[in-house]
Amino acid sequence: MNKFFVILLLLMTLLSCSDNKLTFNGSNITDAKLDSYFELISHSGKKKNINDFKGKVVAIFLGLLIALIYVLQQCLSLKKLNQI
């Protein structure tokens, strides 16, 4: 069983070394002047901004917010369908 996974790993490694010319289909934001200032409410109810995290790596995840907005939109559309 272990030999199978080793062979599979080696095969996948060899296949990933091909000369495929992959193209970048996104937006190059290397030279963009992005404003990194933010102000949010923490879980304890205090206002936090970028200056509170000086010298630290900061990552803000807004995925839950996007999912919540999607669910609310679906609920509103279902509500409209029930009124018809």
The model's pLDDT over 37-81, given as tens digits with 9 standing for 90+, comes to 888 888 899 999 989 988 998 887 777 777 888 888 888 888 777
Is 0.75 topped by the overall pTM? no
Compare 8 and 83 and report the one with higher pLDDT: 8
Closest by CA position to 58, among listed 44, 71, 42: 42
CB 50 within 8 A of CB 36: yes
**Dist CA 36 CA 50 (whole Å):** 8
Q: Which residues contact 4 (CB under 8 A, 6 or more apart)?
A: none
**Dist CA 9 CA 46 (whole Å):** 49
Task: State both tokens at 30.
Answer: 């290397």
Average pLDDT over residues 28-42: 81
Compare 45 and 24 and report the one with higher pLDDT: 45
Q: Supply the pLDDT for residue 47.
A: 94
